[in-house]
Amino acid sequence: MISYGFVENIDFILVSQKRPTNNPKNPFAEIADHHMKLSMAKEVAMIQRSDHRPVKLNTYAARYLQSISGF
């Protein structure tokens, strides 16, 4: 995401959590999630490549994000 010009802690934040596993040798796994601003989500939706039919997924995502943001 940084290669597209997004900046951590401005456009998105990294959220790390420890979650239990079924492995007795490693009972917890660290999971990294990214929380994006709506404006970043719109840009990512537009640059994502998808062959979803009949409407490309990036177009569907962009329309959805525009509808919830009021644009």
Orientation angle between helical segments 57-69 and 38-47, nearest 10 degrees: 160
Q: What is the pLDDT of residue 48?
A: 67
User: How far apart are the two ends of the chain, measured CA to CA in Å?
Assistant: 24
pLDDT digits (tens, 9 = 90+) for 2-54: 677 889 999 999 999 999 999 899 899 999 998 999 888 878 877 766 555 55
How many domains does the chain contain in total?
Answer: 1
55: domain range?
2-69
Q: What is the pLDDT of residue 47?
A: 75
Q: What is the pLDDT of residue 68?
A: 77
What pTM was computed for the model? 0.58
Q: What is the pLDDT of residue 66?
A: 75
- CA–CA gap between residue 43 and residue 10 (Å, rounded): 15
